[in-house]
Structure 1
Amino acid sequence: MVNSTEVQSAVSRYISASLRDHFGKGPTSAFVTLSSGFITIHLRGFLSPSEKILLKQERHNLILEMRDLLLEELKPDIRFQLLKSAGFEASYIFADSDLEKQTCLILAEAKQLPAGEVALPSSWPDSVDKGAFRKVIDEMSEKAQKMPEQTELYWLSDRTILVKRVGILVEIEKALIANGYSEELKISKRPLESELLDKPRLELILDRKIDETFLDWDFEEDVGYIVFTLMKE
Structure 2
Amino acid sequence: MKLTKTLTNNRTQDNLLHLGSLFSKMLKQRFGKGPETCLVTIYDSRLTVFIRKYITPAEEVLIESNQYNLAYEFRNVVIAKVIDEFVEEAKVILGHPLHTYFCDWDYEKNTGVIVIDNGKSYEYSESMISTKLKGKLAEQIARVSSGVHKVPSSIDIIKLNQNMFAVECQETMLEVEKVLFRKDCMDILQERSREIKKSYVNQRELFELAFGRVIEGLFMTWDFKNDRSYIFFYLQ
Both proteins in one fold, TM over 0.5: yes
Query: Does 2:67 correspond to 1:59?
Result: yes
2:60, 2:126 → 1: CA distance? 37
SS at match of 1:123: coil
What is the TM-score with the length of structure 1 in the denominator? 0.85
CA contact under 8 A between 2:144 and 2:199: conserved in structure 1?
no
- What's the RMSD between the two structures over aligned residues? 2.4
Query: Does 2:86 correspond to 1:78?
Result: yes
Partner of 1:137: 141
1:130 offset after TM fit, Å? 0.9
Partner of 2:177: 173
Sort the Cα spacing of 1:176 and 1:213 in 2 relative to 1 into closer, same or farther, 3 A. Answer: same
Partner of 1:221: 226
Letter matched to residue 186 of structure 2: S
State how many pairs are aligned.
Answer: 224
Pairs within 5 Å for 1:1-233: 3-90=11-98, 92-110=100-118, 123-125=128-130, 128-196=132-200, 198-231=203-236
After the TM superposition, which of the residue ranges 85-94 and 10-19 deviates more from structure 2? 85-94
2:227, 2:120 → 1: CA distance? 20
After the TM superposition, which of the residue ranges 132-141 and 67-76 deviates more from structure 2? 67-76
Structure 2 unmatched ranges of 5 or more: 1-7
* Moved >6 Å (runs of 4+): none
Deviations 1:10-52 (CA, angstroms, capped at 9, x unpaired): 2112211211122222212211222344322111221112112
Q: Percent identity?
A: 24
Letter matched to residue 191 of structure 1: E
Deviations 1:111-153 (CA, angstroms, capped at 9, x unpaired): 579xxxxxx9962246x52122112112322322212122111
What is the TM-score with the length of structure 2 in the denominator? 0.84
1:154 offset after TM fit, Å? 0.3
CA contact under 8 A between 2:111 and 2:217: conserved in structure 1?
no
Structure 1 unmatched ranges of 5 or more: 114-119
Letter matched to residue 149 of structure 1: S
1:102, 1:204 → 2: CA distance? 23
Q: Determine which structure has greater relative contact order: mean sequence separation of CA pairs < 8 Å that are 6+ residues apart, divided by chain length.
A: 1
Sort the Cα spacing of 1:77 and 1:63 in 2 relative to 1 into closer, same or farther, 3 A. Answer: same
Sort the Cα spacing of 1:92 and 1:51 in 2 relative to 1 into closer, same or farther, 3 A. Answer: same
CA contact under 8 A between 1:160 and 1:230: conserved in structure 2?
yes
Which structure's residues are more often helix, by fraction?
A: 2
